């Protein structure tokens, strides 16, 4: 599947129209952008199931700049990626690349996918157990405690009783990652210190406002992209995904709007034409498309704010077309970065 798309006509890893990097700066080809962000710089990573592969691409693009995280905060799939960056920031891109190449649903839910819905399933507390995911986590991460990580990192989960977003940033790492990605209904709630936690999607799927409240000087937001709008329909199969998309879009917009009112937020662009969030076998094209989009955006940003520009003021720095929804809250804080560089092959 990936090979067919990779060789599709019109696909190119060139970025047409971009000036050679040597002309932009004399930084050895590394885009100098850290000059624009007030420390401490927090990277916040959103959840999104298989759409998490978007963050591999954006991470590849950001590695061509001099931006570094001083703190990481991740929700759900973003927590899994964030912990990997925090464990080894240099190796993270390569490790993620090979992880996503291999990953499929059975690594998460085990082989029992088919037997999940059965007469007995109505009395269970979750459709799948999380033994499969725990085994995968133990295999992937070397760190066992937050304190083992090189960069300070927090995983966001939702307190199942109060609904409050909760940040785990000390003690055992793997249960916190399990809680952060405990998809409601699919995986069981995770008990930590006598309380039950579910997926961060229920309270803070893009934890930008949490990062702002915890003292970020500026924020880089790694989102996870979206699927094209389906036909508007009134049956439950059409309404449930539509309502889900509505709730999560609204949540990320208010989180970004609140953060951007106080600090500069760099919102890396993400593809809007992704397959479903459980389609793990499309991760190659997903990450490639987001790499190209993010790379073009970062070049645009460097051109719009050339060397000598002061540090960015509070606001949401994004592509003009980053959000499909026409929100008042967003328009108050948006500082669109003009698109000069076409994202080759990302169409």
Partner 1 sequence: MTHHLLHSLPSPTALVCGSGGLNAAAQAGMLKALGSYRPDLVFGSSGGALTAASMYVGEDPAQQAHRRWKQLAESKFMHLSWGRVYSAVSGKETARQTRHVEELLGELFGDADFAPGAVQSLVATNLGTGLPKVMNQGRLAPAVQASAAFPVIANPVERDGTILIDGSFSAPLPVAQAFEGGARSIIAFDTGRAGLRASQEKHFRWYDVALVSINHQVAANAAHDVALVAAQIPVVMVSVPDPFRVTLADIGSRINLGERMAREQLAGIAERWSSISDPGVYAAAPEVVEDRRLSGLVR
Angle, CA 329 vertex, CA 242 and CA 338 arms, to 5°:
95
List of E strands, 133-281 = 153-159, 165-168, 190-192, 195-198, 218-222, 264-267
* H or E stretch covering 110: none
Provide the minimum distance between the beta carbon of 109 and partner 1 in the complex, in angstroms, as a whole number: 13
Contact 177, 137 (CB under 8 A): yes
Place of tokens 């309270």: 203
Shortest Cβ distance from residue 198 to partner 1 (Å)? 6
* Angstrom distance (rounded) from CA 54 to CA 69: 18
What tokens does 177 get? 């990652």
Strand residue runs (E) in the chain: 41-45, 71-75, 153-159, 165-168, 190-192, 195-198, 218-222, 264-267, 315-318, 334-336
Q: Is 91 left (phi over 0), alpha (psi -120 to 50) or beta?
A: alpha
Structure tokens at 217: 């000087």
Radius of gyration of the chain (CA): 20
Rounded Cα–Cα distance for residues 137 and 121 (Å): 26
Q: Which is nearer to partner 1, 58 or 226 (CB)?
A: 226
Give the DSSP H or E segment for 268: none
What is the token pair recorded at 70? 């001083």
CB of 251: closest distance to partner 1 in angstroms?
Answer: 6
To the nearest whole angstrom, how small is the minimum distance from the Cβ of residue 244 to partner 1?
8
Nearest to partner 1 of 185, 320 (CB atom): 185
Would you say 227 or 249 has its CB closer to partner 1?
249
Cα distance between residue 159 and residue 199, in whole Å: 9
Binding site for partner 1 (CB under 8 A): 121-127, 158, 160-165, 184-186, 189, 195-196, 198-199, 201-204, 209, 213, 232-240, 242-243, 245-251, 254-255, 257-258, 261, 325-329
Which residues are known to be catalytic? 76, 199
Beta carbon nearer to partner 1, 7 or 123: 123
| Closer by beta carbon to partner 1, 1 or else 325 | 325
CB of 233 to partner 1, least distance (A): 6
Q: Which is nearer to partner 1, 142 or 193 (CB)?
A: 193
Task: State the minimum distance, in angstroms, from the CB of residue 227 to partner 1.
Answer: 14
The span from the CA of 62 to the CA of 57, in Å, is 9
């Amino acid at each position: 599947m990936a090979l067919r798309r990779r060789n599709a006509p019109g696909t190119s890893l060139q970025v047409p129209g971009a000036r050679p990097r040597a002309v932009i700066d004399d930084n050895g080809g590394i885009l100098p952008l850290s000059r624009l962000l007030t420390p401490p710089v927090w990277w916040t990573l959103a959840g999104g199931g298989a759409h998490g592969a978007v963050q591999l691409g954006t991470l590849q693009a950001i590695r061509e700049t001099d931006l570094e995280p001083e703190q990481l905060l991740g929700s759900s799939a973003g927590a899994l990626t964030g912990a990997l960056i925090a464990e080894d920031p240099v190796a993270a891109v390569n490790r993620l690349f090979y992880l996503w190449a291999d990953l499929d649903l059975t690594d998460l839910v085990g082989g029992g996918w088919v037997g999940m819905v059965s007469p007995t399933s109505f009395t269970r507390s979750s459709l799948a157990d999380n033994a499969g995911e725990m085994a995968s986590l133990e295999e992937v991460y070397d760190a066992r405690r937050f304190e083992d990580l090189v960069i300070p990192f927090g995983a966001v989960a939702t307190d199942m009783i109060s609904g409050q977003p909760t940040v785990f940033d000390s003690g055992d790492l793997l249960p916190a990652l399990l809680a952060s990605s405990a998809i409601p209904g699919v995986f069981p709630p995770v008990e930590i210190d006598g309380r039950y936690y579910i997926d961060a999607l229920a309270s803070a799927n893009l934890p930008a406002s949490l990062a702002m409240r915890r003292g970020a000087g500026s924020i880089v937001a790694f989102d996870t992209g979206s699927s094209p709008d389906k036909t508007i329909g009134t049956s439950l199969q059409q309404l449930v995904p539509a309502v889900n998309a509505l709730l999560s879009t609204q949540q990320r917009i208010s989180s970004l709007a609140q953060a951007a009112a106080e600090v500069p937020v760099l919102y890396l662009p993400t593809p809007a034409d992704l397959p479903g969030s459980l389609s793990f076998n499309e991760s190659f094209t997903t990450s490639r498309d987001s790499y190209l989009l993010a790379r073009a955006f970062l070049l645009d940003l460097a051109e719009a704010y050339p060397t000598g520009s002061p540090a960015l003021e509070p606001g949401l720095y994004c592509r003009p077309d980053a959000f499909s929804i026409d929100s008042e809250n967003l328009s108050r804080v948006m500082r669109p970065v003009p698109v000069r560089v076409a994202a080759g092959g990302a169409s």
